[in-house]
Amino acid sequence: MNDLGFFTSLEDEPQIQYLRDSLYEEFQVEVAIKREDQIDTYVSGNKFRKLKYNVLEAAKQQHDTLLTFGGAYSNHIAAVAKAGSRSGFKTIGVIRGEELAQNLRQTLQHNPTLRFAKDYGMQFKFVSRETYREKLQPKFLQQLKDEFGTFYLIPEGGTNTLAVQGCTEILSEATQDFDYIACPVGTGGTIGGIIDGSFPHQKILGFPALKGDFLNAEIKKYTDKTNWELVNAYHFGGYAKVNQDLVTFINDFKKKHDILLDPVYTGKMMFGLRDLIRNEFFSKNTRILAVHTGGLQGIAGMNQKLLKKGFPLIRM
């Protein structure tokens, strides 16, 4: 039996936390963060928003299984596993990288994301990268149905029209006094919802974690509004790529503001936002709201990579 209370009754709206910083004072701008990361430890931020209406729709269609796709360190995989567990759904994760299945015990030992997902009941299907690229082809989806039975399909990253609907709820009357809304961008669903939920006077700034110009077309699939812009200079080489400057920034930010940022999305956004302020992108007296989209579970996996490179670790 499904228990949908987690998604139907969000107890408290995430707080808006104002940041005190000498740089912001020097350039006379106001910066705050909407703490979407505080919704839940694992189903937090945009993952809660994206999954909300999908889980409700799965229950409406009387499904008992959620199936989705992701990489080995995917925040989305962890979130679906936890959301399914607490809402009464079985979960299946189609994971990129068939080599991970060769010694699953060792994989789980060294991969905190997959170990967490398994602990919350997720069943895995590991596929080659070639097969993974065909994940939405009818032939492959039919093979999954033949193997697992019927399921409710949630796309990689969780982005679809129901996810965008959920992300419109990130903004509210409490956020209408801000001039700019800043958010990280992965697949485009979160910013699409934020754009749709924005007020006419607001400008939305997206900070992509990925290289390439394909995101403009993706975002336009989800919104007709034009009050947005992508800032492509702060991806640090692409998804899951970091350097010592970013790690140092994240650690300094935590020490100064007592807010932990993830290195893939929110860390890059706040690094970029600070650089834009320093370079006078914003006029004086501008009010900026940055959206913390969660993703903190991925830090443990990133620290494993940083350790191998001899880089400083992100302090949690």
- CB count, 10 Å around CB of 271? 21
Q: Which of 44, 74, 87, 198 is catalytic?
A: 74
Largest CA distance in the chain: 62
Structural contact between residues 179 and 287, judged by C-beta atoms closer than 8 angstroms: yes
Token pair in block for residue 117: 């997902």
Structural contact between residues 76 and 68, judged by C-beta atoms closer than 8 angstroms: yes
Q: Which helix (H) or strand (E) holds 291?
A: strand 287-291
Total residues belonging to the chain? 316
Active site residue 85: no
SS3 159: coil
User: What are φ and ψ of residue 313, in 5° steps?
Assistant: -95, 160
Distance, in Å, from the CA atom of 308 to the CA atom of 159, rounded to the nearest integer, reads 32
- From 119, 111, 126, 125, select the one nearest 73 (Cα to Cα): 111
Q: Which residues are catalytic?
A: 74
